[in-house]
């Protein structure tokens, strides 16, 4: 099956073409037009600006993806499009563009859940990689989500834990902004935290475990709460961590003490990542037949990747994580999820509409 996919749920306009057969999904083209330079001026995504930028980019990006894949519309078997969740205006641009293209080219349309798309990034073929097969546990960490799923089949997912407020990526972006890292702050935060870890424990292979035992980890000046809730659920509160971090920053400012930036970034990252590892350790113990998939924009975080690879090795489970280029929003992952939906006959029709919410 040859599929074109379109993704426009937030601040990336993306189009991709894949060739899928059996459980092998090969990327023929995968183009992402990022709007971050525009939104950076405002410190975050401005929905109306995002919608306008999608309208301008959609046609160009889609035809570029077709050209790079060397296929015409007539050679396609379907068109997948993200229909939820996301910014409503942004989603509407992609959905309406896809609907009109599908009608014109007589293509079946396949609505795709953005979150299922992130998980499906793990199914995309690359050299020397064997993709996971359900059932498995998936952690989706992005700008809008921090969710743990039991993925029971290629199309069915049960939510078993999530954030009750802010997402992990959103909290990285907000705290990063306060310490001067431009939007989106995730990658800059990652690099700053690396400096902090290295200053504390040197170039040790298992630096996270070394940091956990270090005096820096117990420095009361940088004390932050764990976002892992302890009420018996697998839920998180990143808003709690974020508020404590803001108070800490204010305290340093009021006392006119210079903030040790790298040490702070390391401590913050440690608490955020360790909370995720704590819940996942319990989840994987409760699901003994499951490997782990890590996905979503924050899955590019090198410390999270390191910590979860150590965890899964200790628990003797497989660990699957897409390369950083497929962790952030892209359309190849939407095509992968669309392929499995199409195999199940889950097509949309002319009444297809966008929806901002998760369902």
Which residues of the shown chain bind ligand KG4 in the complex (CB under 6 A)?
10, 142-144, 169, 172-173, 184-187, 189-190, 296-298, 300-301, 328-329
d(CA 32, CA 126): 18
Nearer to ligand KG4, 65 or 265 (CB): 265
Q: Does the protein bind Zn ion through residue 142 (CB under 5 A)?
A: yes
CB contact at 8 A, 58 and 97? yes
Nearer to ligand KG4, 2 or 194 (CB): 194
Nearer to ligand KG4, 78 or 186 (CB): 186
Contact partner at residue 342 from ligand KG4, Zn ion, none, CB < 5 to 8 Å by partner kind? none
| Cis-peptide into 184, omega within 30 deg | yes
d(CA 38, CA 182): 12
Contact partner at residue 188 from Zn ion, ligand KG4, none, CB < 5 to 8 Å by partner kind? none
Shortest Cβ 137–Zn ion spacing (Å)? 19
Shortest Cβ 174–ligand KG4 spacing (Å)? 9
d(CA 253, CA 249): 6
Site string for Zn ion, 148-187 (x = CB under 5 A): ----------------------------------------
Contact partner at residue 190 from Zn ion, ligand KG4, none, CB < 5 to 8 Å by partner kind? ligand KG4
Nearer to ligand KG4, 28 or 91 (CB): 91
Q: Does the protein bind Zn ion through residue 146 (CB under 5 A)?
A: no
Q: Does the protein bind Zn ion through residue 83 (CB under 5 A)?
A: no
Q: How far apart are the first and last CA of the chain?
A: 27
Long-range contacts, stretch 200-208, CB < 8 angstroms, 24+ apart: 200/263, 200/266, 206/310, 207/306, 208/270, 208/273, 208/274, 208/303, 208/306, 208/307, 208/310
* Alpha-carbon distances of 118 from 53, 122, 136, 138, 239, rounded to whole Å: 22, 8, 14, 10, 23
* Alpha-carbon distances of 131 from 23, 28, 121, 346, rounded to whole Å: 9, 18, 10, 23
Contact partner at residue 85 from ligand KG4, Zn ion, none, CB < 5 to 8 Å by partner kind? none
Number of chain positions touching Zn ion (CB under 5 A): 2
Shortest Cβ 204–Zn ion spacing (Å)? 32
338: nearest Cα among 138, 71, 111, 115? 111
d(CA 301, CA 309): 12
Using CB under 5 A, which of the segments 136-144, 232-240, 271-279, 344-352 binds Zn ion?
136-144
- Residue 74 DSSP code: G
Contact partner at residue 196 from Zn ion, ligand KG4, none, CB < 5 to 8 Å by partner kind? none
Shortest Cβ 163–ligand KG4 spacing (Å)? 12
- The enclosing H or E element of 251 equals helix 238-254
Nearer to ligand KG4, 101 or 119 (CB): 119
Q: Does the protein bind Zn ion through residue 329 (CB under 5 A)?
A: yes
Shortest Cβ 215–ligand KG4 spacing (Å)? 26
Give the total residue count for the chain.
359
Nearer to Zn ion, 25 or 45 (CB): 45
Q: What is the dihedral of CA 302, 308, 310, 312, to 10 degrees?
A: -150
CB contact at 8 A, 33 and 12? yes
Contact partner at residue 161 from ligand KG4, Zn ion, none, CB < 5 to 8 Å by partner kind? none
Shortest Cβ 143–ligand KG4 spacing (Å)? 3
Given the rule CB under 5 A, which residues bind Zn ion?
A: 142, 329
């Amino acid at each position: 099956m040859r599929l074109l996919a379109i993704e426009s749920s937030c601040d990336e306009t993306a189009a991709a073409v894949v060739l899928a057969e059996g459980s092998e999904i090969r990327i023929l083209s995968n183009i992402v037009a990022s709007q971050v330079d525009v939104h950076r001026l405002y410190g975050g995504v401005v929905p109306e600006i995002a919608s306008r930028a999608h309208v301008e980019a959609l046609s160009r990006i889609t035809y570029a993806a077709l050209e790079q894949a060397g296929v015409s519309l007539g050679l396609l078997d379907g068109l997948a499009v993200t229909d939820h969740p996301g910014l409503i205006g942004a989603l509407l641009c992609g959905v309406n563009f896809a609907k009109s293209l599908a009608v014109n080219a007589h293509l079946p349309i396949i609505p795709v859940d953005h979150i299922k798309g992130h998980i499906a990034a793990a199914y995309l073929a690359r050299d020397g990689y064997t993709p996971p097969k359900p059932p498995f546990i998936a952690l989706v960490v992005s700008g809008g989500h921090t969710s743990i799923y039991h993925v029971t089949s290629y199309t069915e997912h049960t939510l078993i834990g999530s954030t009750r407020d802010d997402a992990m990526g959103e909290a990285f972006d907000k705290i990063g902004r306060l310490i001067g890292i431009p939007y989106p702050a995730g990658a800059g935060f990652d690099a700053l935290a690396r400096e902090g870890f290295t200053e504390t424990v040197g170039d040790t292979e298992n630096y996270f475990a070394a940091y956990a035992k270090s005096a820096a980890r117990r420095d009361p000046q940088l004390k932050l709460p764990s976002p892992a809730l302890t009420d018996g659920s697998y839920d998180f509160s990143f808003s709690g961590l974020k508020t404590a971090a803001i108070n800490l920053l204010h305290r340093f400012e009021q006392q006119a003490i210079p903030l040790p930036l790298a040490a702070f970034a390391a401590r913050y990252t440690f608490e955020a990542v360790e909370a995720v590892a704590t819940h996942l350790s319990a989840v994987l113990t409760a699901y003994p037949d499951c490997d782990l998939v890590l996905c979503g924009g924050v899955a590019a975080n090198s410390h999270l990747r390191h910590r979860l690879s150590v965890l899964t090795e200790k628990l003797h489970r497989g660990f699957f994580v897409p390369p950083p280029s497929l962790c952030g929003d892209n359309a190849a992952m939407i095509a992968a999820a669309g392929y499995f939906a199409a195999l199940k006959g889950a097509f949309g029709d002319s009444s297809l509409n966008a929806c901002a919410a998760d369902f």
